[in-house]
């Protein structure tokens, strides 16, 4: 019954994988922008454009700092905001003094904004950018060029915005698919370790105690054998729905095995988690599924103890669940606290009729 082997690496967490891709994107944008822009510092200096040369030095220094912070501190220097700001200022100023030679840089700058900033912020920044470039073009170029530049830059922004929006949607959808169980919509095990570790940190730092409930349907194999696999699937779906209805927004429901579920209850003591476990079991046992399929479940409850790891916490709950099954099923067993010596006391049986 032990399904809590630790995951191989953090890459099994889809949310962390997405953040990893974002870091790579930020790194590549700053690195290649640095490679392209650094030689221009000298070019502009030789053309007596000291102010532009100074702005480009700032741009390159920022790119190097972002790369260094990413590498050594795993954070974004000034939240990555300097790249868009400097790129926009440099492109606009360069166009005003260099004409078309400066204008060409506006196109990659406008595109890069959508990869570095949140969609809404990038859109607003680009509206400002296109407006500034339109004013500069109006003053600098003939009217026909002004229209061409404004429309082509605007169109580039629209293409980049649609692309960034779709990539964002795709990323959200992939994360959802990777983190949830398709049958019941519950969370799957991909983020289990991180979510439990977070609760452990809340316990260690702020004395905010969480509990978890494990529960497993009794004799589920019989349901499959008697009513068919499809009916079994529908029972699991309805089960998840019924549990979800009873939970708070902050509680998290996982499906961690075929007919085994886990609920993480932040800021909840063992006593309250135990009451909830009884209510859930009563709800499951008293109302048949799909109109006439009767089923019961066994459950265990464990409050997180100081100093324990997520796998020890889960193992305590798992042992108590095993105890509930072996004592006849359809009951809740409270996991006992780990003793200071690390030995776990025997689980405590709770009378279902009494509640605690």
Ligand X SMILES: Nc1nc2c(ncn2[C@@H]2O[C@H](COP(=O)(O)OP(=O)(O)OP(=O)(O)O)[C@@H](O)[C@H]2O)c(=O)[nH]1
Instruction: Using CB under 6 A, list all residues that contact ligand X.
Output: 183, 216-221, 224, 229, 232-233, 236, 258-259, 325, 329
CA distance 71 to 61: 15
C-alpha to C-alpha distances, 280 to 111, 239, 308, nearest whole angstrom: 52, 10, 27
Q: Which is nearer to ligand X, 155 or 183 (CB)?
A: 183
Q: Shortest CA distance to 133 belongs to which of 113, 97, 100, 103?
A: 103
Strands, DSSP E only, in the chain? 211-217, 252-255, 260-265, 297-303, 332-334, 348-350
Nearer to ligand X by C-beta: 22 or 234? 234
CB of 240 to ligand X, least distance (A): 11
Q: Whose Cβ is closer to ligand X: residue 20's or residue 328's?
A: 328
Residue with smaller CB distance to ligand X, 229 or 294: 229
For residues 104 and 121, is the Cβ–Cβ distance under 8 A? Answer: no
Q: Quick one: 175 or 224, whose CB is closer to ligand X?
A: 224
Alpha carbon 277 to its chain's center: 28
Residues 113/119/120/124 CA torsion (nearest 10 deg): 20
Q: Give the separation between CA 295 and CA 280, rounded to whole angstroms.
A: 12
For the bound state, the minimum distance from the C-beta of residue 223 to ligand X, rounded and expressed in Å, comes to: 7
Buried b (16+ CB within 10 A) or exposed e, 247-282: eeeebbbbbbeebbbbbbbbebebeebbbbbbebbe
Minimal distance in Å, beta carbon 37 to ligand X?
A: 55
Minimum distance from residue 31 beta carbon to ligand X (Å): 46
Least Å from the CB of residue 296 to ligand X: 9
In whole angstroms, how close is the CB of 226 to ligand X at the nearest point?
A: 11
Nearer to ligand X, 115 or 322 (CB): 322
Judged by DSSP in three states, 228 sits in coil
> Among positive and negative, which fits the CA dihedral 310, 311, 316, 319?
positive
Q: How near is the Cβ of 354 to ligand X at its closest, in Å?
A: 23
Rank residues 21 and 219 by Cβ distance to ligand X and give the closer one.
219
Q: Which is nearer to ligand X, 110 or 262 (CB)?
A: 262
Residue of minimal Cβ distance to ligand X:
258
Q: What is the tally of helices (H) and strands (E) in the chain? A: 12, 6
- For 228, other C-beta atoms within 10 Å of its C-beta total 11
Minimum gap (Å) between residue 355 Cβ and ligand X: 23
Q: What is the C-alpha separation between 229 and 259, in angstroms, rounded?
A: 12
Of the chain, the end-to-end C-alpha distance in Å amounts to 25
Cβ distance to ligand X smaller for residue 90 or 217:
217
Minimum distance, C-beta of residue 265 to ligand X, in the bound complex (Å): 23
Neighbours of 356 (CB within 10 A): 14
């Amino acid at each position: 019954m032990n399904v809590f082997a630790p995951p191989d690496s953090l890459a099994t967490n889809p949310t962390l994988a997405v953040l990893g891709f974002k870091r790579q994107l930020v790194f590549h944008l700053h690195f290649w922008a640095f490679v392209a822009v650094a030689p221009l510092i000298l070019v502009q200096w030789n053309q007596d454009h000291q102010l532009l040369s100074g702005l480009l030095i700032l741009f390159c220094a920022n790119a190097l700092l972002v790369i260094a912070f990413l590498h050594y501190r795993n954070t974004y220097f000034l939240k990555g905001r300097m790249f868009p700001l400097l790129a926009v200022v440099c492109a606009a100023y360069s166009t005003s003094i260099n004409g078309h030679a400066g204008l060409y840089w506006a196109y990659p700058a406008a595109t890069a904004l959508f990869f570095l900033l949140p969609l809404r912020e990038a859109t607003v920044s680009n509206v400002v950018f296109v407006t500034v470039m339109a004013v500069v073009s109006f003053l600098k170029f003939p009217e026909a060029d002004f229209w061409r530049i404004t429309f082509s830059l605007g169109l580039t922004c629209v293409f980049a915005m649609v692309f960034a929006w779709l990539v964002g949607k795709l990323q959200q959808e992939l994360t959802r698919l990777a983190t949830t169980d398709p049958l019941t919509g519950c969370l799957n095990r991909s983020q289990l370790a991180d979510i439990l570790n977070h609760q452990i940190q809340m316990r260690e730092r702020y004395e905010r105690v969480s509990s978890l409930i494990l529960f497993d349907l009794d004799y589920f194999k019989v349901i499959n054998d008697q009513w068919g696999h499809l009916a079994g699937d529908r029972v699991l779906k309805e089960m998840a729905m019924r549990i979800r209805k009873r939970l708070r927004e902050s509680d998290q429901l996982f499906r961690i095995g075929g007919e085994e579920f886990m609920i993480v209850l932040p800021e909840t003591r063992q006593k309250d988690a135990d009451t909830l476990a009884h209510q859930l079991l009563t709800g499951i046992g008293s109302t048949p599924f799909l109109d006439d399929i009767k089923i019961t479940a066994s459950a265990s409850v464990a409050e997180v103890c100081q100093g324990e790891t997520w796998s020890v916490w889960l193992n305590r709950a798992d042992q108590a669940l095993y105890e509930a099954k072996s004592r006849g099923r359809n009951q809740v067993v409270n996991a006992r606290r780990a003793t200071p010596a690390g030995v776990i006391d025997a689980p405590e049986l709770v009378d279902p009729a009494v509640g605690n």
